[in-house]
Amino acid sequence: MRLLVASAALLALGIGVVAAQEATRTGPGAPELAEGKAVYAHWCAPCHANEPGLAGTMSLAVKYEGTDIPAVLEDRTDLSAPVITFFVRNGVAWMPPFRPTEISDTELEQLNAYLTAPLEDRGAHVPLLGEEMVELNARGEQ
Amino acid sequence: MSVLPPDMDAAGFAALLDELRGAVGADWIWSGDTDMFPYRDSFSPVWNTGEERHASAAVAPENVEQVSAVVRIANRHRVPLFPISTGKNFGYGGPSPNVNGSVVLDLKRMNRVLEVNEARNFCLVEPGVSYFDLYRHVEERGLKVMLDVPDPGWGSPIGNSLERGVGYTMPHFRDHFGAHCGMEVVLPDGEIMRTGMGALPGSDTWQEYPYGFGPDPAGLFAQGNFGVVTKMGFRLLPLPEYYRTGLITVRKRRDLVKLIAHVNYLSDSGMVSEVRFASPLSTWMGDPDFLALATKAGGPSDTEMDAAAETFGLPAWAVDLQFLGPQAATLAQWEYAKDRILSDIVGAEAIDGDHFKLPASEEQLENTTQPYASGVRRRAALGVPSLGIWEIVRDDGHVGFFPVIPRDGEAVFEAQRVLGDAQREFPLPPYFSAITAPLFWHTHTFQMVFAPSVKHDDPEHNAMVHRAMKKMVAVAAELGWGDYRASPIYQDDVSATYSFNNHVLRRFHEQLKDAVDPDGIIAPGRGGIWPRRFRS
């Protein structure tokens, strides 16, 4: 029973953390972060978005289970530019490294700026490409 | 692990890089361990062994003129180039070359969608365009065409089709090379050639008639090394109005023979999109007794499998049918499929699936409303690129062996038995067993999948996988089942199995290679084709 109570407390805490993040994640975000956010949307979100069934988000959920580190990269506040740069250029597990022809050094700096900015400056989470297009289609039909 | 190009010293390499910088600019040349790390094959089973292939440098031109200039420079220095499009050919070598010391010709910067024509249903793209890019181009303009996309959307339509990759919509679009129409190629001497109607100045039918006049060499550039493809056209499916699914199950193991024959009829008549065969019994593979039965040496009998199915209360096989087209047509096709199969196979049953107008909503793309368990990945089924497939990747990636087998139930049973027995000596998951279903990807043939994982920090595991890959290629070939696509480290093994008349096909390719590229400037060894310089 004690375990159950502890789990419920953790769950409540978890929900609190998520709710706090959601509250700050609206709008387009700070203009100076727009390029980095676009890099994230194009190269990272297909695997790391806040959506079900994505390998990157699922594997980080397992890795950080029991901690307060979020599974969604876009919600992280503990990342530094050298850490992001290392993973982009070296990959990890089945995530391959990304070449400068894909994410240029300049774009990598922009990505670093986005993922290390205060949460309230990042704006709403980026959508998956498919969903973005669904929304575009829906707007077109109205 | 810095390497130099073949037959070249450090001074020669420095001179080469200087010339390449002059052609593409200093920002677009890379060499040295750190910069070349992303050009390694991160899915390699020979990672950090002497068999791993390393490039010496990478060069990234931004247009066809620069590609031509790079090829001419490589000729002068007798340096092999290894062209990549988006470099995402994972499971088949990624961006790494056949020959150590090759210079990767990274075409990712050439990323223009040159045309998407929704009235005549084609596109023309450059190699660095990804399926994500092409999809975005189509959707942002509201063009009424449907792409046919492979599993990972970061791949290139050109790269994927030149590897003879596949997708998941209508039969003639799933074969991506088969759906191409017209290409531009930089030849090994640096000349720029166009195939088909592209060879006729003033023609406006490059993407509509692939052949032009005389022999069509386009096939030489798929899994080959006769040039660098810099533009390519593809036929596109007009956006269908409606999508519909339905599931048909059959009770007995041997019912698969008739079921496949019916599905062949439906597919070859253009009535169905991709179909997914599966065995509902697969849900019992966690049961040790059933696992032992399904993987029994020599294969279980039909009677044993039928008894197991009856015990579990499950049908032996199921096929997930998908229909694209006008609403009334999809309904008529589904009704026809049900009538045709249920009237011929005793005990067959049908379940109506989802059906909705296209384009799909977010919920429909998530595939949450299908009334039965389905292996269909809805985004891919509707031509929406994603990386959703990555959820099945384990460890540090995998290698892939996909033998081509006949679209025939008896052949499926034989492949289950033979390949199941062949993999028995390796401590791997049962890729082949009595419940292994065929994959219907290419337009007119089946394949099966063998894709063991690799682990960067476990060389013994990787060595076992490496041995298993080679054995599966050899055993399958004894039965006439050839691999359709291979990583550079397996291309010689696979090529050697296509040996009719004392390997005349390979010898013919070698003659061509010697004639147009004797020094091996373009990807020597790719497709198992080695020019004279490297044969000796």
Nearest-by-CA chain B residue for A44: B387
Q: Which of B253, B254, B229, B248 lies closest to B322 in space, CA to CA?
A: B248
**Catalytic residue selected from B174, B244, B276, B485:** B485
In angstroms, the separation between the Cα of residue A101 and the nearest Cα of chain B is 6
pLDDT at B164: 97
Q: Is B92 a catalytic residue?
A: yes
Which of B39, B131, B431, B484 is labelled catalytic? Answer: B484
Residues 76-105 of A with CB under 8 A from B: 89-91, 93-94, 96-102
Partners of A99 on chain B (C-beta within 8 Å) are 38-39, 58, 87, 95, 106, 108
> What is the pLDDT at residue A27?
84
**What pLDDT does A133 receive?**
62
pLDDT (0 to 100) of residue B394: 83
Residue A139 pLDDT level (bands cut at 50, 70, 90): low
Contact B328, B242 (CB under 8 A): no
Chain B nearest-CA residue for A138: B361
Contact status, residue B280 vs residue B387, Cβ threshold 8 Å: no
Question: Closest partner residue to A98 among B38, B366, B396, by Cβ?
Answer: B38
B39, B94, B359: residue with CB nearest A134: B359
| Window 448-477 of B, Cβ < 8 Å to A | none
Q: Where are the alpha helices (DSSP H) in chain A?
A: 2-24, 34-39, 45-48, 55-63, 81-90, 105-116, 119-122, 129-141
d(CA B78, CA B519): 6
Chain B contact for A38, CB < 8 A?
Answer: no
The closest of B408, B482, B43 to B223, measured between CA atoms, is B482
Per the CB < 8 A criterion, the answer to whether B316 and B310 are in contact is: no
Q: Roughly how many angstroms between the first and final C-alpha of chain B, as a whole number?
A: 26
Contact A91 B135 (CB under 8 A): no
CA distances B425 to B23, B176, B285, B399, B479, Å, are: 52, 35, 19, 18, 19
**DSSP three-state, residue B405:** strand
Q: Which member of A96, A130, A136 has the closest CB to residue B90?
A: A96
- Nearest Cα of chain A lies from the Cα of B140 at a distance, in angstroms, of 7
Rounded-to-10 torsion of CA A126, A132, A136, A141: -120
- Across the interface, whether the CB atoms of B396 and A46 are under 8 A apart is answered no
Closest chain B residue to A46 measured between Cα atoms?
A: B387
- Find chain A residues with C-beta within 8 A of B159's C-beta: none
- Chain B residues 15-44 with CB within 8 Å of chain A: 28, 30, 35, 37-40, 42-43
Interface test with B, best of A48, A101, A136, A141 (most B CBs within 10 A): A101
Complete domains list, chain A, with CATH: 2-139 (1.10.760.10)
Taking residues A24-52, report their average pLDDT: 90
C-alpha span between B410 and B403 (Å, rounded): 16
Which of A76, A88, A57 minimizes the C-alpha distance to A115? A76
Q: Please list every residue in chain A whose beta carbon sits closer than 8 Å to the beta carbon of residue B106.
A: 99, 101
pLDDT value for B252: 98
Confidence of residue A132 (pLDDT cuts 50, 70, 90): low
* Residues linked to residue B146 through DSSP beta bridges, in sequence order: B237
Distance (Å) of CA B448 to CA A14, A38, B152, B278, B405: 43, 38, 19, 12, 8
The answer to whether the Cα torsion of B173, B150, A53, B318 is positive or negative is: positive
Q: Which residues of A touch B387 (CB under 8 A)?
A: 46-47, 54-55
Specify the 3-state DSSP secondary structure of B447.
Answer: strand
Residue A3 has pLDDT above 50, yes or no: no
Residue A134: predicted pLDDT: 63
* Residue B484, pLDDT score: 97
Is B245 within 8 Å of B355 (Cβ atoms)?
A: yes
pLDDT tens, per residue, chain B with 536 residues: 689 999 999 999 999 999 999 999 999 999 999 999 999 999 999 999 999 999 999 999 999 999 999 999 999 999 999 999 999 999 999 999 999 999 999 999 999 999 999 999 999 999 999 999 999 999 999 999 999 999 899 999 999 999 999 999 999 999 999 999 999 999 999 999 999 999 999 999 999 999 999 999 999 999 999 999 999 999 999 999 999 999 999 999 999 999 999 999 999 999 999 999 999 999 999 999 999 999 999 999 999 999 999 999 999 999 999 999 999 999 999 999 999 999 999 999 999 999 999 999 888 988 888 899 888 999 999 999 998 777 778 888 999 999 999 999 999 999 999 999 999 999 999 999 999 999 999 999 999 999 999 999 999 999 999 999 999 999 999 999 999 999 999 999 999 999 999 999 999 999 999 999 999 999 999 999 999 999 97
Q: Which residue among A93, A99, A140 places its CB closest to the CB of B39? A: A99
Q: What are phi and psi of B78, to 5 degrees?
A: 55, 50
**Which residue in B has a C-alpha nearest to residue A102's C-alpha?**
B108
Please identify among residues 76-115 of chain B the ones whose CB lies closer than 8 Å to any CB of chain A. Answer: 86-88, 90, 94-95, 106, 108-109
Nearest CA in chain A to B383: A130
Residue B485 appears among annotated catalytic residues: yes
Contact B483, B92 (CB under 8 A): no
Residues 149-188 of B with CB under 8 A from A: 153-154
Min CA distance, B11 vs chain A (Å)? 26
Q: Which domains does chain B have, with CATH numbers?
A: 10-108 (3.30.43.10), 113-235 (3.30.465.10), 242-386 (3.40.462.10), 404-497 (no CATH), 498-536 (1.10.45.10)
Q: Which residues, numbered 347 to 386 in chain B, qualify as contacts with chain A under a Cβ-Cβ cut-off of 8 Å?
A: 359-362, 365-366, 379, 384-386
Beta strands in B361-490 (DSSP E): 404-405, 446-447
Q: Which residues contact B461 (CB under 8 A, 6 or more apart)?
A: B454, B455
Contacts of B135 in chain A (CB under 8 A): 129, 133
